Copies of this chain bind each other. A is one copy, B any other.
Amino acid sequence: MFLHKQALQYTAKPEKPDAVYARKLQEVIGGQYGEITVAMQYSFQAWNAHIPGKYRDLLFGTAAEEFGHVEMLATMVAQLLEKAPLGITEKAIQNDPAVAAVIGGTDVQDAIVAGAGARPVDSNGNPWTAGYVTASGNLLADFTSNINAEMQGRIQVARLYHMTDDPGVRDLLSFLLARDTMHQNQWVAAAKELQAEGIESLPAPSNFPIKKEHRDASYQYINFSDGKAAAEGSWAKGDSPDGLGQFTYIDTPPEGVPMPPPTHPDARFFGTTELPNVMEKMAGTVQDKLHRE
């Protein structure tokens, strides 16, 4: 159950309008690594969790915070758009290249569709899609996905920080950066704890009977490019991080095996085969073609 409170976790107030920046900020609302993604991802991970207790509480506790981040950013976007030029005709300024330039950089749907409002889309206007969400039921994999999401999100916020001078916007971003720092750290800690407790380990999933995999190939770096430097990395020799093998480096991919012969499905799929197929052979000439059954 979710309860809403008409307050923001942190101040979200720009000093001045900036519709171009509002568009950019939509990336961290409705982009691949925006706040909608993490809010939905943590929620579905919690709903699909198979254990009660600290890990599921961690998911629920963070998910709800992220919905509140969507709210802070949407509120910020609406204010950035509030008094900004958005294309409504003003003869005086319409011919001003500076104004035209600004409007050219805005998201025109913010004006046409939302009437100077926020939308659940990214900075190019692509609608948010649940195709971004990861919730496999395996917590080691999912927490790794979460570490990545918080890293990508923090990188984007850091870039956005340097794309504005507005102190109000920067103040909110400095708060979001801090929360991303926390969330990166917490998912790293949780992933370690899962392993320390022996619940999951590398390679994920750790409870698949490892003998069933083709162990000869489990620690070989096979170099399918012609660069030579990959041989210098820690992935080319020494112990593997899962503690179960030794890396080796193979500079030239093995020969491989012959491709199987091409398939020949039922003739009624009308694929192209070597010889005209049976029906066709029976058909004979063009005139026959018209009369064949």
Contacts and interface: CB of A to CB of B under 8 A. Distances in A.
A221 B182 contact: yes
A87 B164 CA distance: 8
17 contacts: A4-B64, A27-B113, A47-B74, A58-B233, A89-B164, A109-B122, A127-B130, A131-B131, A138-B155, A158-B205, A161-B212, A184-B204, A186-B221, A189-B247, A206-B280, A207-B276, A207-B280
Given A20-B100, A116-B265, A121-B124, 17 more contacts: A3-B64, A4-B225, A11-B257, A30-B130, A81-B265, A88-B266, A89-B165, A91-B165, A101-B104, A115-B159, A136-B155, A154-B208, A198-B276, A199-B274, A209-B279, A209-B292, A210-B289
A180 B214 CA distance: 11
Contact of A98 (B100, B133, B240, B290): B100
A6 B56 CA distance: 10
A276 B230 CA distance: 20
A140 interface: yes
Given A11-B257, A101-B104, A124-B109, A137 B158 contact: no
Given A50-B262, A75-B260, A82-B264, A270 B155 contact: yes
